[in-house]
Amino acid sequence: MTGVLASQEIEALITQGAIAADVPFVDGQVQPASLDLRLGQTAYRVRASFLAGQGRSVSDRIDEFEMHRIALGAEGAVLEKGCVYLVPLMERVRLPQDIQAIANAKSSTGRLDLLTRVITDGGVEFDRIAAGYDGPLYAEICPRSFSVLVRPGMRLNQIRFRRGRSVLSDTELHALHEAETLVGGGAPVIGEGLGFSVDLQPGDGGLIGYRARPHTGVIDLDRIGAYDPLEFWDELRSDSGQLILDPGAFYILVSREAVHIPPGYAAEMAPYLAMVGEFRVHYAGFFDPGFGHAAAGGAGARGVLEVRCHEAPFVLEHGQIVGRLVYERMSQVPAQLYGAGIASNYQGQGLKLSKHFRGR
């Protein structure tokens, strides 16, 4: 069957050897519609981001661009803000000819403005693994706002496997919304996906979002709930329904709509048309089956928006469409849904920083 592969199908690929690893897989690594990827033992500081290119291996390109290498080890190592690193991953794949894969940053990774992308031998695109690919996987990591401490085995990326094309058309998306109510808070905006808008109406204490502070300490990615958010973020408040984005700044905002991903579907956050403004929304783009699903403890969950402004200051306004969710069919309903008895940090969420920060 076509569609995004469910957890039980990913486990079957592992059993068959189509997905392998240097060390045994760990509990929780297989998610409802994806597999978490783990950092290996070495980080290479490189001069610039790159793709291997057709007929070339990543290891050859590392020899070309490497500045120095860092053994991560049990104590880990700091990846510094503004630098580019390449880390071989523990996992490798030998994909069947009818299965391709796409990678993305995990939610907590994106919320730290930690740009991380997967590259492969012979690859000509980031985060895309061609059907039939047989080889290693590498994570390119560029901390944008905060320096981070990483260790082997940390999971910054996730990979989703797909057989065939299963993206819902606008007509199918309308029908699914009528049956399942994909968003709350008004009529859906559907056009090559389900549009969602930004919420800039003040919440508790007038808070509408966060902006990353420019000069902060290091974040140890293993420390959960350990950091005071005010040491790393400026709280944003407004009673005008507007926010002026500063070029180069990074923001955490929230969608106005409550999002729902039914069990038989998965979704990916995609940028909206570039013509609507000089900013980009999203790093962590995967929404798993069961996200916001009432039976899985969600009852609708708003999407957290990771926003970076580009060339010029830009006025963002309450209710402005800023992105879209592209829905796909699952090939099977996952054995375990997001939020249903598994460690799902963001089920039922509103405006929320990554899990590394204490609640206020």
| Residue type (1 letter), 236 | L
**Residue range 235-263: mean pLDDT, rounded:** 90
Mean pLDDT of 347-351: 63
Q: Mean pLDDT throughout 262-290? A: 74
Q: What is the mean pLDDT of residues 347-357?
A: 79
pLDDT number for residue 338: 67
Spatial neighbors of 306 by CB under 8 A, at least 6 apart, are 110, 111, 113, 250, 251, 252, 281, 282, 283, 284
Position 341 scores a pLDDT of: 54
Residue listed under structure tokens 């969420």: 349
Kindly indicate the confidence band of residue 200, based on its pLDDT and cuts at 50, 70 and 90: very high
CA dist., res. 338 & res. 103, Å (int): 18
> Model confidence over 80-111: pLDDT tens digits?
999 999 999 999 999 999 999 999 999 888 89
Confidence of residue 347 (pLDDT cuts 50, 70, 90): very low
Q: Which amino acid is at 235?
A: E
User: What gap in Å lies between CA 312 and CA 38, rounded to an integer?
Assistant: 37
- The answer to whether the Cα torsion of 319, 252, 313, 85 is positive or negative is negative
**Distance in angstroms (rounded) separating the CA atoms of residues 23 and 40:** 10
Residue 106 CB burial class (10 angstroms; 0-12, 13-18, ≥19): buried
Confidence of residue 302 (pLDDT cuts 50, 70, 90): confident
**Is pLDDT above 50 for 275?**
no
Q: Name residue 297's amino acid.
A: G
127-141, 227-241, 279-293: segment of lowest average pLDDT: 279-293
The two domains 3-163 and 170-329 share their CATH topology (first three levels equal) = yes
Question: Among 182, 177, 322, which residue's Cα sits nearest to residue 254?
Answer: 322
AA letter at 113: D
Average pLDDT over residues 188-211: 87
Strand-by-strand arrangement of the 265-271 sheet = 189-190, 194-197, 321-329, 265-271, 286-287
The set of residues, in sequence order, having a beta carbon less than 8 Å from that of 301 and lying 6+ positions away, is: 258, 259, 260, 291, 292, 346, 347, 348, 349
At 293 the pLDDT is: 66
Q: Residues, the chain, total?
A: 360
Greatest pairwise CA separation for the chain in angstroms: 57
- Of 44-48, 267-271, 292-296, the range with the lowest mean pLDDT is 292-296
pLDDT at 239: 85
Arithmetic mean of pLDDT, 198-227? 91
pLDDT, averaged across the chain:
89
Q: For residue 112, which of 310, 356, 321 has the smallest C-alpha distance?
A: 356
Looking at domain 170-329, does it have CATH number 3.40.50.10300? no
Q: pLDDT (tens digit, 9 = 90+) per residue, 162-174? A: 999 889 999 999 9
pLDDT exceeds cutoff 90 at 321:
no
Both ends of the chain: CA-CA distance in Å?
46
Q: Answer for the pair 91, 125: CB distance below 8 angstroms, yes or no.
A: no
Element (H or E) spanning 172, and its range? helix 170-180
Q: Computed from CA positions of residues 181, 192, 144, 47, in that sequence, does the dihedral angle turn out positive or negative?
A: positive
Q: Are 307 and 276 a contacting pair, CB within 8 Å?
A: no
Q: Domain segments of the chain: what residues? A: 3-163, 170-329
Kind plus residue range of the DSSP H or E element containing 14 = helix 7-16
| Residue percentage of the chain with pLDDT more than 90 | 66
What pLDDT is recorded for position 298? Answer: 44
Whether 193 has a pLDDT exceeding 80, the answer reads: yes
The pair of three-digit structure tokens given for residue 24, joined into one six-digit string: 């045994």
Residue with tokens 């930004």: 198
What is the pLDDT, as a whole number, of residue 346? 47
Name the least confident of 43-57, 151-165, 343-357: 343-357
**Confidence check: pLDDT of 277 > 70:** no
CATH of domain 3-163: 2.70.40.10
Residue predicted with more confidence, 10 or 257:
10
Residue 297 in this model has a pLDDT that exceeds 70: no
